Amino acid sequence: MSVESVWFRRVLWAQLAVLVLAVSWLFASNLDTLFPAGGPFAGGILSRADFWRSLNLSVLSATATALVAAALGIPAAWALSRRTLAWHRGADILLGAILALPASSVGLALVLLFQYGPLDWLQAWLGVRVIYTLPGILVAQLVLALALGLQAWRAAFEALDPRLELTARTLGANSFQAFWRVALPAARPGILAGLVLAWLRAMAEFGAVLLFCSTFRELPASRFGELARWLHVDRADLLAVAMWVEIEFGRVEAGMGMAFALAMTCAACVYLVRLNGGRIRGH
């Protein structure tokens, strides 16, 4: 091994160390805000019922969104993987564009879609409204979580060895069996990674929910249905939204506490995926 190689490798490790240190410091430099002099830990959020309801709402809605995204997206990704190249390129551009949209444009487009045009008439006919409701949160999260999931699941199916399916066909399997018994199990790490990516993206949703659903914390309990109260998601905003409200009111300790709660939840998720051998790439 030459001298330059050794030095080069050290430079690479050093770069990595700098990256890790910079990111760690971004988070660690805020730890002292959690312990204000003369005040409770993290502004006392741990003893506030609305904090736990917010956490609940974030986790439950992200989970629900990820499951819906999986139900819609995994079959759709499978269908996409069997299409022509033109479909793939189109999907590439479309999904890339959706994922590059700012959250405010996503929220605005949702308002326009649901309050004007065909979806507006449909809702009027059915007598329901999605805007400014808890299910609206799911819709807002779903737009991006589904797009991210689709990218990941398509890649997972694409990476499969075509011979697996060929063999299955030769043995008499129809297309559903080829999907359910061959492709899905074989692509399992990629499928799970896509699921987690969708969950994380749903947890990270903030701007679109603000524009499409507004806030829920100050509404009276009577305004929410039985289910919402039983799940303890009534009178709560998403954790990211609640964090923003706290910062706006000047309660920086509480906002920082919520920020850490979010960061730790996401970190735990990413770490668990790696523990199981998966890897998360991309957005």
Partner 1 sequence: MKRRIAAFLVLLGLFLGGCARQEPPLLFHAAAGQRSALDEIGAIFEERHPGTRVNFSYKGSGYFLPDLVRSREGDLYMPGEEFYFLQARDRGFINNYDPVADVPAHFVTVLITPKGNPAGIRRLEDLARPGVRVGLGNPKSCAIGVRQEKTLRRAGILEAVLANTRMSAKCIPELGNAIQHRGIDATVVWSSTAALYLRDVEIIPLEPRYRAVVRLPVGVLTVSRDPARARLLKDLILSPEGRSIFERHAYAVDPGPVDEEGFCTGPGPTDLLMQRLVEAARVTQDPTLEVDEKTLGPLVGEVLRQRASK
Partner 2 sequence: MRPSSSRFTPFDGVSSVLLVGVAAFYLLFLASTAVYLGWADAAHHLARPVLWQRLGLTLSTALISTGVAMIVGIPGGYALARLPLPIPRVLATVIELPMMVPPATVGVFLIGAVATPPVAPLLKIAGISLGHSTAGVILCQVAVTTSFAVCLCAAAFASVPARVETVARTLGATWPRAALGVTLPAARNALLGATLTVFARAAAEWEAVMLFVGASRGATDVLPFAVFLDWNEGMMGGVVTMSLMSVTVATLASLGASLARRSSHVG
* Binding residues vs partner 1 (CB under 8 A): 111, 115, 129, 131-132, 214-220, 222-223, 245, 248-252
Q: Which does 251 bind (CB under 5 to 8 A by kind): partner 1, partner 2, none?
A: partner 1
Question: How far apart are alpha carbons 210 and 106 in whole angstroms?
Answer: 11
Which C-beta is closer to partner 2: that of 144 or that of 224? 144
Which C-beta is closer to partner 2: that of 33 or that of 215? 33
Q: Which does 37 bind (CB under 5 to 8 A by kind): partner 1, partner 2, none?
A: none
Question: How far apart are alpha carbons 238 and 203 in whole angstroms?
Answer: 8
**Between residue 218 and residue 277, which ones bind partner 2 under the rule CB under 8 A?**
240, 243-244, 247, 252, 255-256, 259, 262-263, 266-267, 269-271, 274-275
**Between residue 159 and residue 198, which ones bind partner 2 under the rule CB under 8 A?**
162, 165-166, 169, 173-176, 178-179
Q: Which does 270 bind (CB under 5 to 8 A by kind): partner 1, partner 2, none?
A: partner 2
CB burial class (10 A; 0-12, 13-18, 19+) of residue 154? buried
**Rg (Cα) of the chain, in Å, rounded?**
22
CA distances from 283 to 95, 96, 144, 145, 234 (A): 12, 10, 11, 11, 31
Encoded one letter per residue, x for contact with partner 2 by CB under 8 A and - for no contact, window 119-158 reads ------------------------x--xx--x------x-
Question: How far apart are alpha carbons 172 and 25 in whole angstroms?
Answer: 58
Strand, coil or helix: 172: coil
Which C-beta is closer to partner 1: that of 135 or that of 189? 135
Q: Which does 47 bind (CB under 5 to 8 A by kind): partner 1, partner 2, none?
A: none
Q: Minimal CA–CA distance to 112: which of 212, 43, 222?
A: 212
CA distances from 176 to 78, 179, 183 (A): 10, 5, 10
